[in-house]
Amino acid sequence: MCGIVGYNGEKKAAPILLEGLSKLEYRGYDSAGIAVRNKTGETEIVKAKGRLKVLSEKTDGGNAVEGTVGIGHTRWATHGEPSEINAHPHCSDDKNVIGVHNGIIENYQELKDKLARHGYTFYSETDTEVAIKLIDYYYKTYNQGPLYAITHAMTRFRGSYAMAVMFKDYPDQIYAARNDAPMVIGLDEGESFLASDVTPILKYTKSVYYIGNQQVAVLGKGSVKFYDLDQMEIDIEPSTVTWDANAAERGGYEHFMIKEIHEQPKAVRDTINSVVKDGKIDLSEVGIDEETAKKIHSIQIVACGSAYHVGVVGQYVIEGLARIPVRVELASEFRYRDPLLDENDLVIIVSQSGETADSLAALRLAKKKGARTLGIVNVVGSSIAREVDHVFYTLAGPEIAVATTKAYSAQLIAMYALGMQLAKYKGTLDDERYASMIEELQNLPDQMSRVLEDKERIQWFAAKYANAQDMYFIGRGIDYGISLEGSLKMKEISYVHSEAYAAGEIKHGPISLIENGTLVVGVATQKRLFEKTRSNMVEVKSRGAYLMGITNYGNYSIEDTADFVVYIPKTDEYFTTSLAIIPLQLLSYYLSCAKGLNVDKPRNLAKSVTVE
């Protein structure tokens, strides 16, 4: 889950590399490093443990490092603790071959033993040092140039990697290799860039190349060539990125997370507008037509983290509307379960990054089993987007904060649209309800803006409860799905122990943990379940809980039970998640701020989890 960058041009490389790494810091931030070749052919490697700013200070923002060709890395430790010695770049002992890597070389021990037998010594605990030294070994042993050495090493690597490698003897080139880890390449006049995602490149160009699996790219100054494992040159067409460069900047907000929370109405509106045309949902770009829809016997939604919680809500929405059996599962479980699937099943993979290792493995398994696959993905050109049969792109734009907000909200829209249209095709949703749901869908962005206006009350409440040790979120049905996401946000960025329970289940365990003052958030947006959830709230209150309630305007009787209430505007019951999640995002955000934590980069987490 590390981030890598590369620059080859005429400008001073180090400041460009550091700026690029700052855009990728969400991918890992326990150490960082750069390698830059100067005019005399020598390469300077500078590394630092800790946040990127330590490396930046060490190099005076990059100004202290000479040279116009370089590579850089920001690390999320997998093999070896965060330390300067384990930080990338890694190099051969003579500094002839230098590289950075994102991913995991699974058979690194076996390769390390082989290299040790050939006299290689290792200084770090990383798989990357082994990979670079293997390339060095083939480079020196066969003497057939970098492309030969890299492709030869690639046939020996097992695992995922996006690598950028420099060779002393080829001073004007950067070599890049990829398998199952993201990498994007961009060209501008006389210069070339590579990065783990488009955000470091957007400022220079919107025309980018997505290098495929088991392919190598050779970056010159303003040029790029692609090769397959047989070293045959291949053609890759550039793609145009529609993301705005400013979208990846904080733009006056204190944190990316609060900026992204405020961008939700736009992310939702853009995603709705991409599929609602003339008062109807049009899935033609997704490629799901009536005939396809009617063939679907069952649906499995597979994802990780918040994307899984979108699946939990999606299960209620799709099953409820389209009357198709839906199962939702964590990708890390699904991939080892040997699921029962055939061509009549649809597997929906939900992923912001499109690169999550477990979700990608789940997708491949589903395909192998013959199921039809659909990805709800935010990052265009990502691995999942490229490998699914159908892709529904969410239009959330670049999301930088580790904890997702606007991508989650955009994914929900995709679920609603799918549920509604499948229902329409199957005849389980009449014209009148369909039309009213479309109208409600289009009202959501404005309603979300209204909920955001209530943020000061939530900020006040968060400050009051900043010392909370434990928190419980309860709800039924869709409200349970909302509770799961609210609880995850609280853990992720506020480090509060929190649990989400189906409200009816609290009597089977968690109620024993309720003491005087324990904070419980009750979510009750579903009419049919309101009284049931309220009773569960009364049960915890009578054991001393302090209660926050979230419900729709009009359900004022909740005030008899809850100590603090947040109301959301009325919408179709299937859409309430989009509104009720906002106060919970704000609660965890303000609580994290009140505790003085690093909101955008919470400890131990990374945004894009490309390891198992």
Under the rule (CB under 6 A), what is the footprint of ligand G6P?
304-307, 351-353, 356, 359, 402-404, 605, 607-609
For residue 594, give the nearest of 455, 463, 495, 401 by alpha carbon: 463
Place of tokens 């420099």: 166
Reported as type and span, the H/E element at residue 315 is: helix 305-322
Q: Choose between 307 and 462: whose C-beta lies nearer to ligand G6P.
A: 307
Min dist. Cβ of residue 27 to ligand G6P (A): 11
Q: Choose between 359 and 447: whose C-beta lies nearer to ligand G6P.
A: 359
**Catalytic residue check, 607:** yes
Query: Residue of minimal CB distance from ligand G6P?
Result: 305
Per annotation, catalytic residue among 47, 203, 491, 607 = 607
Min dist. Cβ of residue 15 to ligand G6P (A): 29
Report whether 412 contacts 310 (CB < 8 A): yes
Q: Choose between 226 and 393: whose C-beta lies nearer to ligand G6P.
A: 393
The tokens describing 528, both together, are 């049919």
Q: Choose between 219 and 402: whose C-beta lies nearer to ligand G6P.
A: 402
Sign, Cα dihedral of 423, 286, 379, 604? positive
Is the N-terminal amide bond of 325 cis, ω within 30° of 0? Answer: no
For residue 603, give the nearest of 102, 50, 114 by alpha carbon: 50
- Tell me, what DSSP letter sits at residue 46? E
Q: Choose between 59 and 353: whose C-beta lies nearer to ligand G6P.
A: 353
The whole-angstrom separation of Cα 509 and Cα 323 is 32
Min dist. Cβ of residue 17 to ligand G6P (A): 25
Q: Choose between 353 and 447: whose C-beta lies nearer to ligand G6P.
A: 353
Q: Choose between 35 and 348: whose C-beta lies nearer to ligand G6P.
A: 348
Min dist. Cβ of residue 134 to ligand G6P (A): 30
The tokens describing 165, both together, are 């490698």
The whole-angstrom separation of Cα 198 and Cα 544 is 50
Q: Choose between 188 and 270: whose C-beta lies nearer to ligand G6P.
A: 270
Element counts in the chain: helices (H) and strands (E): 18, 27
The whole-angstrom separation of Cα 38 and Cα 12 is 10
Min dist. Cβ of residue 311 to ligand G6P (A): 11
Q: Is 25 exposed, middle or buried (0-12, 13-18, 19+ CB in 10 A)?
A: buried
How far lies 427's CA from each of 277, 287, 290, 346, 431, in Å? 20, 19, 10, 19, 9
The whole-angstrom separation of Cα 496 and Cα 467 is 9
**Catalytic residue check, 203:** no
Min dist. Cβ of residue 361 to ligand G6P (A): 12
Min dist. Cβ of residue 582 to ligand G6P (A): 16
Cα 558 to its chain centre, rounded Å, is: 36
Min dist. Cβ of residue 401 to ligand G6P (A): 9
Per annotation, catalytic residue among 2, 91, 304, 593 = 2
Q: For residue 401, what are the contacts with CB-CB under 8 A and spacing of at least 6?
A: 26, 255, 256, 257, 260, 599, 600, 607
Q: Which amino acids are annotated catalytic? A: 2, 607
